[in-house]
Amino acid sequence: MSVDVQDPPLVLGSGHGGMAARRAVVRWAWRLFRREWRQQLLVLALLLVAVAATTAGLGVAANTLGTQSSSFGTADHLVTVSSTGAQLDADVAALRSAFGTAEVIEHQNIPVPGSANPVDLRAQDPHGPYGRSMLRLNAGRYPQGPDEIAVTDGVAKIFSLHLGGTWDQGGRHRTVVGLVENPLKLLDRFALVAPGRASPPDHVIVLIRATQTEFAGKTLPDGVSVEIRGEEPDTASVGVLMLATIGLLFVGLLAVAGFTVMAQRRLRALGMLGAIGASHRHIRLVLVANGAVIGAVGALAGAAAGLAGWFAFSPRLESLVGHRIDRFQLPWLAVLVAVLLAIVTAVCAAWWPARAAARVPVVSALSARPVPPRPARRFAALGGVLLLGGLGSLVAAQQTKPLFIIGGVVATALGLLLLAPVGIAGLGRLARLAPLAPRLALRDLARYRARSSAALAAIALAVGIAAAVALGAAVSVAKAAAPTGGNLPADQLIVWLSENALNGPVPSLTPAQADNARLRVDAIAADLHATSVLPLQAAVDPNAPQVGGSGGREPMQLGKPHPITVDGRQGFRYSSADAVPLFVATSELLGHYGIDPTSIDAGTDIVTSRADLDSYDLFPGRYRDWRPRLQHAPLPTYTSLPGTLLTTHAVQSLHLTPIPAGWLVRAPRPLTQAQIDRAQRTALAAGLSVETRPTGADLARLADNVTGTGIAVALGVLAMTVGLIRSETARDLRTLTAAGARRGTRRALTAATAGALALLGAVIGTAGAYLALLAWYHREPHWLGHVPVLDLAAILVGLPVVAYAGGWLLAGKEAPTLARQPLD
């Protein structure tokens, strides 16, 4: 008897083929990329631009923020000693004994004719243990002898000095032997002498490096002030990555449209692959691997282009940010994350078309029939849930909670994007009401819903961002024009002696400096035809240490104590965010407000219109146990106007010293931007600063620029999308041409496609921006009544009109003959 073993029947598509099959599919995907990279050039270019912009942006963000190293060097504690003579030597010796290694830097103030800010004469060792990073020699050498000095470029320009010249200052002749700078603060104006040659110093800085526990366990000399180096979180890089994520979301939406078109164009080849035994997983792998290759090539090329741009731009950035930049000081982890995000974006964009193509039956794929559109209600349900959740998160954020704000913005944007298929389906239903050419165009959009929805979502995202900026700017402009609230009335400005108003040290002026500052203020008042110029005075503790190189002291303020614990010790800290500036209640100021000085009780310490000052303390200083006696009066509620006054009784009882802080100038009418610019230039020449109510002009210009950019981006998306649609429907266009359709019909098809997508994207984006801002301003929705008519008209009317006109003008080319069919 013979036995014949029959082979089992071959079932196509039932197995997975193992690693060999996956390698073959990946190789085919790589060949597909090499053959058709020109058709995928759009996605490659978008990924390259996104990653390049992110890489360069990360470099700018990581090197733009100011650094505490400009005053601390490599130390973490800065001790200011204001004693003099033998007591100063004893205090410095005590600090050296307590901490071992300590760097002493002496400071002496040199008055500048015509300026309220003196030049800092600094006695510092260029090779000190902590401060060497704060000095850089640009020319010559460091000073060594008693009559040698090095200066910065700013000081050399002020006093007309040059290398090898002589500086006659205060009857003392010094030879300029070097040009120096603080590489961590290029705007730092100072003159450098050898250690111990700034005698007598106005104050002395001692740099110390110690842990919090070590520092807390030491006894410090009396009368010193201590600054502790704080943490400097890299929030700017996080912000750049967030913007990059939004940009990559936009790129991903366009990539979905591109991969969908590619999948439809290669549908027959994918069907043949399934016919010879490839599983659904293999077919998905073809497109996903192709997406991974495109993402990797685009991301790596973008990173290289971004690094090249960063290296080219960084020298220019140094002058903009005011400190030297290390070209290789980049957040490399964030750059890697940006590259990985780009690759993941391309893979995710390819996955959805790959999933749809893998589900197409083999016979339908071989016939290249379009995939029937899926019901839009599923996307609408998920989009509605995300939209409601995002708006609720924005409401719960109360404009103060970052996590709720980020989550709300992302969820709102995703919700609106998922509603795009519903809009495309609605266009298909409206097609029956349109003439022939627009009817065909709208039905074609609905038939290829996956591709059209992705493009519509990208347009809505670009338009929504532009509309949100325009609406937000309109709200800011309206708030600036409001008669109440804000920092100052629209017809007033304050000329401050300090750069940071009353949030920084107030310099002590010599009589000549005070006269020059008042001359500048009078010039500003004359230009504004001012009706009044009111001197403002702050109060300082004469025993408090001087701050920085300005020779100034911190003004007294009211602050809310926040309990903290450091190394097991209970303490308090004060934040400038909730500080209340104090002005001395001079007779001129009281008369300006119409208050009779005799109406203030003799024992009153503070005159105010606020009712929440019971929990506030007087700082800086040692006055935590002082409980002031308050008297309420009808004072203005503007944040920068004198609304909380320190009486003469309080100044005398606390042994404080009134000093000039600024001048309040009142004009007969609201200030224009040109008047503000002239006032700022005049004040800057004397080292003064000007504070005014924001006019909103800059925000309005920003809104116009962003609106124009959003419209340009939307038009670019439309051009890409319409090009993809027309290339995919080339056979239908040939059929129409053979049936006698004229050039006008072909033009109307393209124009209707572009105009419909533009109009629907503008409506969805603007509606989303309004919903998001309504949730943001839910407590004061009346501000949204100030509509930026021109910007919204450009979006809702201009964008569709330009899209329709562009589609009409650029279309109408004669189609190839029917005999010239493209090969798959």
Q: State the residue for tokens 């022939």.
A: 436
For residue 483, the model assigns a pLDDT of 66
Max CA pair span of the chain: 133
Q: State the residue for tokens 């000693």.
A: 81
Q: Can you tell me the distance from the alpha carbon of 64 to that of 526, in angstroms, rounded to the nearest whole number?
A: 38
Mean pLDDT, residues 698-705: 74
**Helix (H, G, I), strand (E, B), or coil: what is residue 688?**
coil
Mean pLDDT, residues 260-280: 68
For residue 192, the model assigns a pLDDT of 92
pLDDT digits (tens, 9 = 90+) for 52-91: 888 887 777 777 765 556 778 888 888 888 788 888 888 8
Q: Of 253-267, 507-521, 733-747, which one has max mean pLDDT? A: 507-521
pLDDT exceeds cutoff 60 at 1: no
For residue 663, the model assigns a pLDDT of 92
For residue 151, the model assigns a pLDDT of 92
Residue of 363, 351, 358, 364 whose CA lies nearest to 280? 358
Q: Which residues contact 460 (CB under 8 A, 6 or more apart)?
A: 416, 417, 420, 760, 761, 764, 765, 768
Q: Which residues contact 346 (CB under 8 A, 6 or more apart)?
A: 43, 47, 252, 255, 291, 292, 294, 295, 296, 298, 299
137 band by pLDDT with thresholds 50, 70 and 90: very high
CA dihedral (810, 811, 815, 821) positive or negative: positive
Q: Can you tell me the distance from the alpha carbon of 612 to that of 629, in angstroms, rounded to the nearest whole number?
A: 13
Asked if residue 412 lies in contact with residue 390, where contact means CB atoms within 8 angstroms, the answer is yes
Q: Can you tell me the distance from the alpha carbon of 46 to that of 322, in angstroms, rounded to the nearest whole number?
A: 33
For residue 18, the model assigns a pLDDT of 64
Residue 606: exposure state from Cβ atoms within 10 A (0-12, 13-18, ≥19): buried
What are the C-alpha distances in Å from 622 to residues 32, 359, 494, 603?
A: 76, 76, 30, 21
Asked if residue 215 lies in contact with residue 3, where contact means CB atoms within 8 angstroms, the answer is no
pLDDT exceeds cutoff 70 at 730: no
Mean pLDDT, residues 543-552: 64
94 band by pLDDT with thresholds 50, 70 and 90: confident
For residue 12, the model assigns a pLDDT of 42
For residue 672, the model assigns a pLDDT of 85
pLDDT digits (tens, 9 = 90+) for 481-501: 676 667 888 888 999 887 766
Residue 694 one-letter amino acid: P
Q: What percentage of the chain exceeds 90 in pLDDT?
A: 6
Q: Can you tell me the distance from the alpha carbon of 617 to that of 620, in angstroms, rounded to the nearest whole number?
A: 9
Asked if residue 623 lies in contact with residue 617, where contact means CB atoms within 8 angstroms, the answer is yes
For residue 65, the model assigns a pLDDT of 60
For residue 5, the model assigns a pLDDT of 47
pLDDT digits (tens, 9 = 90+) for 408-444: 877 887 787 778 778 777 777 777 777 777 787 777 7
265 band by pLDDT with thresholds 50, 70 and 90: low
Residue of 528 and 377 predicted with greater confidence: 528
pLDDT exceeds cutoff 80 at 549: no
For the chain, helix (H) and strand (E) counts, in that order, are 25, 23
pLDDT digits (tens, 9 = 90+) for 576-623: 667 788 899 988 888 888 888 888 888 888 888 887 777 777 776 556
Q: Can you tell me the distance from the alpha carbon of 238 to that of 233, in angstroms, rounded to the nearest whole number?
A: 10
Q: Which residues contact 391 (CB under 8 A, 6 or more apart)?
A: 408, 412, 771, 772, 775
Residue 281: exposure state from Cβ atoms within 10 A (0-12, 13-18, ≥19): middle
396 band by pLDDT with thresholds 50, 70 and 90: confident
180 band by pLDDT with thresholds 50, 70 and 90: very high
Residue of 478 and 448 predicted with greater confidence: 478
Helix axes 280-321, 235-265, angle to 10 degrees: 140
What are the C-alpha distances in Å from 774 to residues 560, 696, 748?
A: 32, 21, 38
Helix axes 436-447, 449-481, angle to 10 degrees: 100
pLDDT digits (tens, 9 = 90+) for 640-666: 888 889 898 888 888 888 988 899 999
Residue of 394 and 820 predicted with greater confidence: 394
Asked if residue 651 lies in contact with residue 505, where contact means CB atoms within 8 angstroms, the answer is no
Q: Can you tell me the distance from the alpha carbon of 255 to that of 353, in angstroms, rounded to the nearest whole number?
A: 10
For residue 819, the model assigns a pLDDT of 40
For residue 818, the model assigns a pLDDT of 40
Q: DSSP state, 552? A: B
Q: Can you tell me the distance from the alpha carbon of 628 to that of 642, in angstroms, rounded to the nearest whole number?
A: 18
Q: Can you tell me the distance from the alpha carbon of 63 to that of 184, in angstroms, rounded to the nearest whole number?
A: 11
Mean pLDDT rounded to a whole number for the chain = 78
**Helix (H, G, I), strand (E, B), or coil: what is residue 728?**
helix
Asked if residue 662 lies in contact with residue 536, where contact means CB atoms within 8 angstroms, the answer is yes
For residue 367, the model assigns a pLDDT of 63
Asked if residue 386 lies in contact with residue 414, where contact means CB atoms within 8 angstroms, the answer is yes
492 forms bridges with which residues in the sheet? 666
Q: What percentage of the chain exceeds 70 in pLDDT?
A: 77
For residue 241, the model assigns a pLDDT of 61
For residue 10, the model assigns a pLDDT of 38
Q: Can you tell me the distance from the alpha carbon of 354 to that of 287, in angstroms, rounded to the nearest whole number?
A: 6
Q: Can you tell me the distance from the alpha carbon of 782 to that of 790, in angstroms, rounded to the nearest whole number?
A: 19
pLDDT exceeds cutoff 50 at 817: no
**Cross-sheet strand order for the sheet of 617-619:** 580-581, 557-559, 617-619
Asked if residue 111 lies in contact with residue 513, where contact means CB atoms within 8 angstroms, the answer is yes
pLDDT exceeds cutoff 80 at 110: yes
Q: Can you tell me the distance from the alpha carbon of 95 to that of 79, in angstroms, rounded to the nearest whole number?
A: 9
Residue of 626 and 124 predicted with greater confidence: 124
pLDDT digits (tens, 9 = 90+) for 628-637: 888 888 888 8
Residue of 313 and 679 predicted with greater confidence: 679
Angle at 258 between CA 255 and CA 264, to 5 degrees: 140
pLDDT exceeds cutoff 90 at 178: yes
Asked if residue 467 lies in contact with residue 795, where contact means CB atoms within 8 angstroms, the answer is yes
For residue 821, the model assigns a pLDDT of 45
Q: Can you tell me the distance from the alpha carbon of 797 to that of 759, in angstroms, rounded to the nearest whole number?
A: 8
pLDDT exceeds cutoff 50 at 7: no
